[in-house]
């Protein structure tokens, strides 16, 4: 019973840590999406076209995520 309670406590702690990490990552994604939108709104049409073409043809060493 003591082992079970210790494991449950450890799992709950880990869940809290993971929830916090998820929260931080969601906030980071939101910030990056905002920055991306802002940068795209100030980019030239040529730059945007270059971004679109490079997104459809990723470099060999970097698989798309």
First and final C-alpha spacing in the chain? 44
Spatial distance between the Cα atoms of 33 and 27, rounded to a whole number of angstroms: 10
Q: Domain residue spans in the chain?
A: 1-40
Q: What is the predicted pLDDT for the residue at 58? A: 76
> pLDDT tens digits, residue range 10-55?
999 999 999 999 999 999 999 999 999 999 999 999 999 999 999 8
Element holding 7 (H helix, E strand): helix 2-42
Spatial distance between the Cα atoms of 40 and 8, rounded to a whole number of angstroms: 47
């Amino acid at each position: 019973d003591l082992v079970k309670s210790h494991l449950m406590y450890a799992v709950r702690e880990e869940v809290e840590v993971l929830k916090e990490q998820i929260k931080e990552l969601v906030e980071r994604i939101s910030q990056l999406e905002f920055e991306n939108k802002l940068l795209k709104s100030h980019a030239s049409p040529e730059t945007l076209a270059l971004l679109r073409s490079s997104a459809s043809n990723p470099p060999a060493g970097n698989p798309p995520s």
